[in-house]
Chain A
Amino acid sequence: MTATDAARKETFRQGQRAILPSLPGAFAWGMISGVAMVKGGLTVPWAIMMSLMVYAGSAQLAALPLIVAGAPLWVIVTTGLITNLRFVIYSAALRPYFADEPWRKRAALGFFMTDFTFTRFMRSAQDGSLPERNRDAWFAGVCANNWVTWQFSAMTGIIGASYVPTDWGLEFTGTLALVALVGPSLNARPAVVGAIVAAVVALLAFPLPFKLGLFCGALAGIAAATLADSWQQREPPRTPEGA
């Protein structure tokens, strides 16, 4: 092994250590996704396949009720896509750091990027603790530990849940997990406006076929949030009281 290889390996391990604090969170999310998949009605092999291939808890949880309700393919996939749109922003934020890497590596790092690993990377990028060299190896270490933890916990949840009776109502954990996901995002007024509009429109439009009410709600909410955001920008900055 050359000195460069050894250095890369060491940087990879540093990345693996850097993500350790958030692994309990990843474990909990993976477990819930796994349990909800099975309790929502997927068979164990399909739930495992879903977990390995999609590797996006929120999109899986969002798509699940639609799958169970027998919604058309395009509705399910579009819902997953909208839920995943935040990754487009993450992807744009990561690009400058990996611009010189070959495209295959960029694709791989992108696929393994999640909320947790992205947040961890950006924290180091901002406080200057990112390694000077071999950033890709460092991020790969971060992603590797996160992936192993998430998949292991998802499998545990999938297999464990198949032994739990359905009348325990465990499928409701999927909805609650989405509540936990949305809660912290409601810290800005435009997000609150968007969420309320989305919910009301989705309720009113619920009788529409193909779960189209969901899209009407999401689109109305996004429009409302964007408008609220631009109004907020235009508002003159308020002087804090007592200043």
Chain B
Amino acid sequence: MNEGVSGIALGVVIVGLALSTFVTRTSFLLAGARFRLGSRVEVALRYAPVCTLAAIIVPDILLHPPAATIDLSVLNPRLIGALAAGLWLCWSRNLIGCLGSGMAAYTLARLCL
């Protein structure tokens, strides 16, 4: 993709995303003291990011390039890369190591398989 995504539509998307950051970060700091988080709501909010990210990551890894079939084969370079990164995370929380091992495995799999 040499052209790159751009244009007015992208500007609107960026403003929308900026608002989503601003609104969530300032929500309770700006709201009056009469607003409180119910415990149920807080539980749902706590798990929302993990679930959303899982719903983004897993199809991105297994359905790439966007196809109708699920590629669970050991020959899927993205799956191999993600597994390597995940294994690294079990061992250490180091972000650079996680990305390095994931990219190394992904690149090797892409070039060799």
The residues of A with any CB-CB pair to B shorter than 8 Å are: 25, 28-29, 32, 40-43, 46, 49-50, 53-56, 58-60, 62-63, 65, 67-69, 73, 76-77, 79-92, 94-95, 98-99, 103, 106-107, 109-111, 113, 166, 168-170, 172-173, 175-186, 190-191, 194-199, 201-203, 206-207, 213-215, 217-218, 220-222, 224-226, 229-230
* A-B pairs, 5 with minimum CB distance: A221-B51, A217-B55, A110-B26, A225-B47, A199-B58
- Additional A-B contact list (12), CB under 8 Å, known A111-B25, A202-B58: A54-B17, A63-B17, A65-B56, A86-B48, A86-B49, A89-B42, A95-B29, A107-B26, A169-B106, A185-B50, A213-B55, A213-B59
B44 and A226 within 8 A (CB)? yes
- Rounded to whole Å, the gap between the CB of B98 and the closest CB of chain A is 5
B51 and A198 within 8 A (CB)? yes
| A40 to B10 alpha-carbon distance, docked (Å) | 13
Contacts of B21 in A (CB 8 A): 54-56, 59, 80, 84, 87, 111
Contacts of A55 in B (CB 8 A): 18, 21
Listed residue (B13, B33, B82, B90) with the most chain A CB atoms within 10 angstroms of its CB? B13
| A181 to B86 alpha-carbon distance, docked (Å) | 11
Which chain B residue lies CB-closest to A162? B4
| A60 to B31 alpha-carbon distance, docked (Å) | 26
Contacts of A79 in B (CB 8 A): 52, 56
B66 and A218 within 8 A (CB)? no
The residues of B with any CB-CB pair to A shorter than 8 Å are: 1-6, 9-31, 33, 36-37, 40, 42-63, 66, 68, 70, 78, 81-82, 85-86, 89-90, 93, 95-96, 98-99, 102-103, 106-107, 110
- Rounded to whole Å, the gap between the CB of A216 and the closest CB of chain B is 8
A175 and B82 within 8 A (CB)? yes
B52 and A82 within 8 A (CB)? yes
- Rounded to whole Å, the gap between the CB of A96 and the closest CB of chain B is 9
| A146 to B64 alpha-carbon distance, docked (Å) | 34
Contacts of A85 in B (CB 8 A): 24, 45, 48-49
Which chain B residue lies CB-closest to A219? B51
Contacts of A217 in B (CB 8 A): 51, 54-55
Given A58-B49, A62-B53, A175-B57, A49 contacting B98 (CB threshold 8 A):
no
